[in-house]
Amino acid sequence: MQKIESHACFGGRQEVWSHTATTLGCPMRFGVYLPPQAEREDCPVLYWLSGLTCTEQNFITKAGAQQYAAEHGLILVAADTSPRGEGVPDAEGYDLGQGAGFYLNATRPKWAANFRMYDYVVDELPALVDAHFPTTSARAISGHSMGGHGALMIALKNPGRYRSVSAFSPIAAPSHSPWGEKAFTAYLGEDREAWKAWDATALVGGAREKLPLLIDQGGEDEFLLPQLKPELLRVACEVAKHPLELRIRPGYDHSYYFIASYIGEHIAHHARALHG
């Protein structure tokens, strides 16, 4: 563990740390916001997963989340979006390879050794955070776009691990999205049945915990119809009687301007569950 950034922020500290990730076989960075309450007591943790092309920096510099985390006494952990560095496989374009891990465990030979973001987010990173920071056992998870897909999928696959889940503009049905189809084919192969284990819309019918899903989606998002397809998730939730609050926000797009506008509501949602 090496601290590479530390900034005073809303009475707490915004830090960035580097470490060698054993599940990914490369150095990784993550952001940690420690609210002022963390100086005197253990605090619950909200994990944030970012979207395509992002690093930990996008969320910690653009979302404006720290003021709300300070208000509610939450630690924020912002993961990177994929393994990175020399020797890590990559591909042309922004939607595959480094910066586009899709929060799954790859099985195809080219990618399998490094692209195990699911294991990293679910197991390795929380163990590291709990060992080095004043955390309670209460966790929540959220994310944007590809990270929204990751947050929903991870919560559905791990009943009891998270007290709440939310997403902004998630790739809600990646098996039916050009982004998802490209990534799943590369990382998992051609068998579409194998894809269902990593697709929130496919998972919701068999979920063993009815953890409510909170989603905010911009009505003017250019990716809404071709890539994100939240209506497919809505239908799946209706069939499974799984609680879903899907809020379409008129006029908003896919950017961090949208996230910053509603991140306070999401953090309050998670705080109620984490402190409840």
**The one catalytic residue among 145, 164, 166, 177:** 145
- pLDDT tens-digit series, residues 31-78: 999 999 999 999 999 999 999 999 999 999 999 999 999 999 999 999
Q: Which domains does the chain have, with CATH numbers?
A: 2-275 (3.40.50.1820)
The proportion of the chain whose per-residue pLDDT surpasses 70, expressed as a percent, equals 100
pLDDT at 231 over 90: yes
- pLDDT tens-digit series, residues 15-39: 999 999 999 999 999 999 999 999 9
Find the mean pLDDT for residues 78-85: 97
Catalytic residue status for 254: yes
How sure is the predictor about 214, in pLDDT bands with cuts at 50, 70 and 90?
A: very high
How sure is the predictor about 97, in pLDDT bands with cuts at 50, 70 and 90?
A: very high
How sure is the predictor about 276, in pLDDT bands with cuts at 50, 70 and 90?
A: confident
**The one catalytic residue among 164, 175, 221, 270:** 221
Catalytic residue status for 191: no
Catalytic residue status for 169: no
pLDDT confidence of residue 121: 98
- pLDDT tens-digit series, residues 233-256: 999 999 999 999 999 999 999 999
Find the mean pLDDT for residues 263-269: 98
SS (H, E, C) the chain: CEEEEEEEECCEEEEEEEEEECCCCEEEEEEEEECHHHHCCCEEEEEEECCCCCCHHHHHHHCCCHHHHHHHCCEEEEECCCCCCCCCCCCCCCCCECCECCCCECCCHHHHCCCEHHHHHHHHHHHHHHHHCCEEEEEEEEEECHHHHHHHHHHHHCCCCCCEEEEECCCCCHHHCHHHHHHHHHHHCCCHHHHHHHCHHHHHHHCCCCCCEEEEEECCCCCHHHHHCHHHHHHHHHHHCCCEEEEEECCCCCCHHHHHHHHHHHHHHHHHHHHC
pLDDT at 194 over 90: yes
**The one catalytic residue among 254, 266, 269, 270:** 254
